[in-house]
Each structure stands twice: as C-alpha cells, then as structure tokens.
Structure 1
Amino acid sequence: MAETYITLSTGEKIVTKASEEQILQHITNDQGMMNKSFIVIGDVHIATAHIVKIETLDQTGEMEDLIHFDQADQTESTYPKDEEESKTQDRFELLEQELREAMQTRDIFLLDTLLHDDLVFINHEGSYLTKEMDLEAHRTLDVRFTEVSCKDLQIKTTKDGAVTISQIHLQGQAGDEKINGDYIYTRVWQLIGDQYQVIAGHCSML
C-alpha cells in the first residue's frame, strides 16, 4: 500500500495515508508557495518550515525508525512511554516556538489558530486580555515586537495538553512605551478538537 513519507529538517520521518498531492494542495497556494504555517498529521503538529521532502513510496511492513500515524489505528502506542513523552515535549516546544514567531512577525492567522476563542490572559500589569484584544493590538501595531526569544522553557504535560513556563526576552514597543526586558510566561495548552490551543496564560516581568 502506498504511503506518504514526510521528512523533517530534524531527520525525523512521519508516515501518513494521505497522498503527496493532498498534502501539497493543503499547504501551498496556486503558485506552489507555502501558505500554511503548519499541518496536522494524526495528533502531531508539523511546522511546514521544517519539511524538507514529501514522497510517496510503496512499502510493506513496519520500519522502527518511522512514526506511523494512521487515523484508524491510534489506540496502541508503537513507542515506549519515555520516548512518547519526549515526542510530546517536542510537540509543545514547536508550538511555543510557533507562537513566539507569530508574536514577532505579527502573524494574525497563526495567532488566531494557536489561541482559543475564550482565552483568558493576565499581562504583567495585572490587566485581563481576551483573544480579540490581543489580535487587535497586533493588527493595529499597538504592540510591535522586534525580538521574542526564549531563554528557558519548562513543559509539564497533562492528560489533554500541557502547562508551559518560559522565560522570554522581549524587545519592541507597546503604544508609546518601549519594551526591553525578560518576562515569565505561563500558558495552558489544551487539545480542542484536533488542534492544541492556549486557553489561559499569565505574564510577569522579571
């Protein structure tokens, strides 16, 4: 049976039953340019920037160095628990990276995807912010980041998501106020449908 192999820049390979044509149609526009920041294969989020090759091969049997994500067969794990935990950690590291990049580049589409509609966020001044308030600040350039870099990231996985605590260095401007300092972000990620989203968060200045 034909399977499509997605090779990532990390060397990892992911296998899916979706055809190469279906994947390319999903992540590219009519000019063949990438128009999606990430795709979802099974329960794994893949940043399209990390994809180096997509190919369809006729293969039989199992290959130990590949991850098989068949929608109809996800009840049993093919990895030891510690390796599964490592891959779960990697998944949330990638999501956190995507969120930082979206903040710095003002990628409204990606921010809209990663933040839950009912997001509850408390900023470093103790103010309550909704998702729409956050998106509007980026749309209107009221908040502009020139640097959003991570100095430390801790991830505690939960049954249906994770809690992340990261030390972030921010540079930029919020209104007339310049931003240049280190902040601690706490985020609660939860699986909503087939997408992990931030449902709650808090930021403190160091």
Structure 2
Amino acid sequence: MNETIITLSTGEQIRTEAPEQQLLEHITNNQGMMNKAFVVIGDVHIATAHIVKIESTVEENKRPDQLEQTDNSVSSKQIEQTDQVVTPNQFELLEQELLEAMQTRDIFALDTFLHDDLVFINHEGSYVTKEMDLEAHRTLAVRYTKVSSTDLQIKPTKDGAVTISRIRLEGQEGDEKISGDFIYTRVWQLIGEQYQVIAGHCSML
C-alpha cells in the first residue's frame, strides 16, 4: 500500500493514502493565519505548523522465504531502510515559507528554518549567524515590506538541495532604505526530521 507521510515543524507526522503530488497541489496559505500551512484532504482542513517534509513510502508484501538470509542476500538493516523521495516542489514550498517569514518577521518560522550553526555571508561580505538574523527581526533593525522571488533553481543533493533564486527586497535596514534585486544561494539539509538552511550567500545585482 502506498502511503504519504507529512512531517511538521512540531515533529508530528500525518499519514494519509492521498498521493504526494495531490497533497503538494493542495497546500495553501491561509491569509487569516499568517505562515500557517494547511493540508487539504477531501473536505477536511487540517491546521498544522509549517510543513517541513512530504515523502512517499511503499509497503511490499514479502513471503517469509524472501526474508531469509543467504550469502548473496541483503542484510536485515538494508531491508528495513526506505529511500526518501525528495521532490523539487518540497523545496519550492520551503523557500516560499521562508520568504514569507522574512517579510512578516515570523521569528518562530525563521528559527525553524535556520540551522543553529548557520553560515551566511551577506551582500556586503559580512558573516551573519542565525542569532544575529533573528535578533535583527526581533528588534525591527530589519523591516521588509516586500520579499518576492523569481527564477528559482533547485539542485537536489543526497540529503537536501541547493536553491538559487533572484529575490526582490524592499524595506529598511537600520536607517537605510532597501530596494533592489539580490541573488540568494541556500543549502538545505535534512536535520533529524526537517529540512533546514545550513549555509547561504547573497549578492546584490
């Protein structure tokens, strides 16, 4: 039986027989609850935290004799392993959620998406840590009125993806106004049960 597992930022998991592609097509943002993802299954709306991973699994019925070990058979550990299905759509959704969190100063979402040991170099060549980024949003040192992305490229890796996108930023950093296009590169990696940004860089065009 095919089963789709939805992993949330809270660590909870939702299991459903609905196909992965169908779920991806029905994930929407509710304007009344900023940055909360919704999964639509039939007529039921399940309010969740941020969705960090959607994967499909396939259960196969095996005869007892197929599980017996021989010199040429795979180990029991290999039999138990299930390959994760990673699709570009997952990272497109993660990128969208991250940009919304930047614009709305959603500290919880930013804390979820950014790895504790994040390495990020900004357009001025300065090193920015996760805590520095969160503090800038908490204190309103950074205020974005527009954060939009175009030309998103996704390069899947063994346990995540590298994303490259052109992002339009408008707002204020300290006493200076921001209005321009930037190229962002982010490295997403599966950490435990969720994908997080472990490294990144941006350049101003």
Same fold (TM over 0.5): yes
- Cα distance change of structure 1 residues 53 and 120 upon mapping to structure 2, 3 Å threshold: same
Structure 1 unaligned regions, length at least 5: 15-32, 38-47, 57-66, 78-83
Match of 2:165 in 1: 166
For residues 120 and 183 of structure 2, the distance between their equivalents in structure 1, rounded to whole angstroms, comes to 13
TM-score, normalising length from structure 1? 0.66
For residues 188 and 111 of structure 1, the distance between their equivalents in structure 2, rounded to whole angstroms, comes to 15
- Cα distance change of structure 1 residues 69 and 191 upon mapping to structure 2, 3 Å threshold: same
- AA aligned opposite 1:195: Q
Is the 2:35–2:97 contact (alpha carbons within 8 Å) kept by the matching residues of 1? no
Structure 2 unaligned regions, length at least 5: 4-14, 25-31, 45-54, 60-78
Match of 1:101 in 2: 100
Pair member with larger Rg? 2
Which string of whole-angstrom CA distances, capped at 9 and with x for unpartnered residues, describes residues 57-99 of structure 1?
xxxxxxxxxx75479977267xxxxxx5xx6100000110010
**Residue 63 of structure 2 is aligned to residue 53 of structure 1:** no
TM-aligned CA deviation for residue 13 of structure 1: 3.9
What SS does the aligned partner of 2:195 have? strand
TM-score, normalising length from structure 2? 0.66
How many residues matched? 157
For residues 148 and 74 of structure 1, the distance between their equivalents in structure 2, rounded to whole angstroms, comes to 40
State the identity %: 67
- Cα distance change of structure 1 residues 13 and 121 upon mapping to structure 2, 3 Å threshold: closer
- AA aligned opposite 1:137: A
**Residue 142 of structure 2 is aligned to residue 143 of structure 1:** yes
- Cα distance change of structure 1 residues 202 and 35 upon mapping to structure 2, 3 Å threshold: closer
- Cα distance change of structure 1 residues 36 and 178 upon mapping to structure 2, 3 Å threshold: closer
